Structure 1
Amino acid sequence: MPASTPKLDDLLLDVQLSSSQLAQISTELNEIVTGIAALTQVDRVELAKIARDLQVEAIVSDWIDDWSLDRAARQTQFTVQQIRAVVTIVNQLTQQHQSTIRQHLNYLHQTIEDRQLPIQSPALADYINNFMTIDRVRSSRSTQSLELLETIALNVLLGLLFYSSPNGHQRLWTALLQRSHHSIVRPSGN
């Protein structure tokens, strides 16, 4: 089945995002791209090619240039236009690698069924280790526990399948906006 081409015009925004919402979305989007890279070994060259194909290269060229840099030397927060462009790139990548995503989800299902830890599956162990390695270089957050990073990696893997559908860019866009909105309106713990 041929991949559909996501369009920026499909990703509408009817409210202005706060700085903290942009930061949260940027973090989440970087985790998703980290998951794709951990699973597929996508590099700057492939990201640039997809950005050109989607006609968003001018919007994300700085982000692509920063892709291999460590966290101290790169841009940490996206603009709304960059978020929209990266969402379309994520959709295109997940469509291209949908069979790999499904295969790894099958491995995850099998480990759960066999009552094993995901790390006991060689393919999942490779994915998780790749995710952690890329995260150490790319993430601006403070050091996380291995268990938390494993959970993030597996949650990202689960999400990748939803983003690989023909309208996955709209699903991802909506999910990012909803989660950023919910994080802002949550009451603070006293």
Structure 2
Amino acid sequence: MRPSLQTVTAPASVQDLTLTRTPDGQQLENIKSHLDLILLALESLSGIGSEAMLLAAKELNLEKVIGDRVTLWRLRQSNPLRKSSGGRKKLDVEEARSLVLIICHLAQQEQDNIRRACALLEQMTEQGKEPHRAALLGDYLDNFSNTYQERMDEESPAPPEFLVRLAFKLLIDLLFYGATNGHRRLWLALMDHATE
């Protein structure tokens, strides 16, 4: 009997996240916003908070960049869509890379939950049923919508249809970001998103 081959994946690294050119100020603003929304989706689905994010930073040896709650809070608050004007207004490329690695690390840890939610979304859609009627998806949508409206600064409340589409798009994205080379996928998506 031959021994089975095991797939060994290299740990995600900041060196994997290269740039062809440095993003300008507006592109960094777009990147900040998108990273914060992805974290919001992850929080809404799995209930993780800053402790899990800081633990992920420690496990990935990113403590020099994101080592405490205040630093993390300032990075999240730097999202120009947020209500609070507090926090830092600037996100540098190194911090963006670190957040990408943290998001993908957490998405890998939550992969079972993400897969279950995506499979349920597909099943409900195929059956022509409202996705929010499934408990897992309903809770996710409620958490996402409530937290979005609580944190984001908008002159008028976001329409429920917009929040549903955004929440489900981010959920599906998380499925890919938690997979092998998810950090590269997210990094490329951010670079694409930054130019929109």
2:112 equivalent to 1:99: yes
The answer to whether the Cα contact below 8 Å between 1:51 and 1:89 also exists between their aligned partners in 2 is yes
Give, in whole Å, the separation in 2 of the partners of 1:77 and 1:111: 41
Give the AA of the match of 1:166. T
2:45 equivalent to 1:45: no
Which has more helix, going by share of residues?
A: 1
- Superimposed CA distance per residue, residues 20-78 of structure 1 (whole angstroms, 9 cap, x where no aligned partner): 11111111111111010001111111111110111112213444244897741344652
Instruction: Classify 1:56/1:138 alpha carbon distance in 2 versus 1 (closer, same or farther; 3 Å).
Output: farther
2:159 alignment counterpart: 145
Secondary structure of 1:86's aligned partner: helix
2:88 equivalent to 1:86: no
Which shows bigger deviation, 25-34 or 71-80? 71-80
Instruction: Classify 1:67/1:8 alpha carbon distance in 2 versus 1 (closer, same or farther; 3 Å).
Output: closer
Equivalences, count: 182
**Structure number, greater radius of gyration:** 2
1:131 alignment counterpart: 144
Give, in whole Å, the separation in 1 of the partners of 2:134 and 2:75: 28
Instruction: Classify 1:107/1:4 alpha carbon distance in 2 versus 1 (closer, same or farther; 3 Å).
Output: farther
Instruction: Classify 1:146/1:121 alpha carbon distance in 2 versus 1 (closer, same or farther; 3 Å).
Output: same
Give, in whole Å, the separation in 2 of the partners of 1:4 and 1:108: 31
Instruction: Classify 1:75/1:126 alpha carbon distance in 2 versus 1 (closer, same or farther; 3 Å).
Output: farther
Decide which of 45, 60, 72 is 1:64's aligned counterpart: 72
2:168 equivalent to 1:154: yes
- Superimposed CA distance per residue, residues 84-138 of structure 1 (whole angstroms, 9 cap, x where no aligned partner): 0000001100110100000000110111011012222221010011111222333
Give, in whole Å, the separation in 2 of the partners of 1:109 and 1:164: 18
Superposition TM-score, scaled by structure 1 size: 0.86
Percent identity, please. Answer: 26
Structure 2, unmatched stretches of 5+, are: 1-6
2:183 equivalent to 1:169: yes
CA-based RMSD of the aligned residues comes to: 2.3
2:41 alignment counterpart: 35
Give, in whole Å, the separation in 1 of the partners of 2:146 and 2:191: 28
Superposition TM-score, scaled by structure 2 size: 0.84
